C-alpha cells in the first residue's frame, strides 16, 4: 500500500512541476525569485552528492548503505523534497496566480505524502532514524 501512496505523491510532485513549466511559471527576471530558484538547485545538488550513488526509486523505499546524516541531511531529513518545494514556491512568487499557487500546493502536498510514507519505512529499516528525527526537521529548519 505504501508503494501506491508514494507513487501518487511522486505523480503529484511531477504533475505540479510540469504544470509550472507548461504554464510558463518557471522563468523570472525578479532577483528574489532567481535567487530562491538557484538556492533550490544548489540544495538539490548538495543533497544528491551527500546521498551518494544511491538510486532514486519511484516508490518510497530505503536504499542500502545506511542512514545518510551528512551534508544538508544534517539539518533536514528531506532536503531534496525541500528543494523541490522551494523551487515551486519561488515559481509561484515570480508568477503569482491562482494556477501557480495551486500547482505549488500540489507539489508540496505530494512531497509531504512521500515524506510520511518514507519515514514509516525508514523507521522500520533504520532503528537510529528515531533519534535522527528528533534532532532534525523534515523540510524547514527549526519549523517542520
Question: Which residues on neighbouring strands pair with residue 76, listed in sequence order?
Answer: 137
The three cell numbers of residue 10 are 511522486
Q: Per-residue pLDDT tens for 33-92? A: 999 999 999 999 999 998 877 666 656 666 666 788 899 999 999 999 999 999 999 999
What global pTM score does this model have?
A: 0.89
Helix 2-22, helix 79-94: angle, nearest 10 = 30
The three cell numbers of residue 57 are 526509486
* Confidence at 141, pLDDT banded by 50, 70, 90: confident
Cα(107)–Cα(91) distance, rounded to whole angstroms?
Answer: 12
Amino acid at each position: 500500500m505504501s508503494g501506491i501512496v508514494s507513487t501518487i505523491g511522486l505523480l503529484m510532485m511531477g504533475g505540479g512541476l510540469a504544470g509550472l513549466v507548461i504554464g510558463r511559471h518557471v522563468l523570472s527576471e525578479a532577483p528574489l525569485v532567481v535567487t530562491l530558484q538557484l538556492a533550490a538547485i544548489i540544495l538539490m545538488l548538495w543533497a544528491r552528492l551527500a546521498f551518494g550513488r544511491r538510486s532514486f526509486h519511484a516508490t518510497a523505499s530505503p536504499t542500502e548503505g545506511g542512514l545518510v546524516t551528512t551534508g544538508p541531511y544534517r539539518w533536514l531529513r528531506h532536503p531534496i523534497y525541500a528543494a523541490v518545494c522551494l523551487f515551486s514556491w519561488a515559481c509561484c512568487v515570480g508568477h503569482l496566480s491562482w494556477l501557480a499557487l495551486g500547482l505549488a500546493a500540489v507539489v508540496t502536498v505530494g512531497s509531504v505524502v512521500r515524506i510520511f510514507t518514507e519515514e514509516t519505512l525508514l523507521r522500520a529499516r533504520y532503528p537510529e532514524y528515531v533519534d535522527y528525527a528528533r534532532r532534525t526537521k523534515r523540510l524547514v529548519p527549526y519549523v517542520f
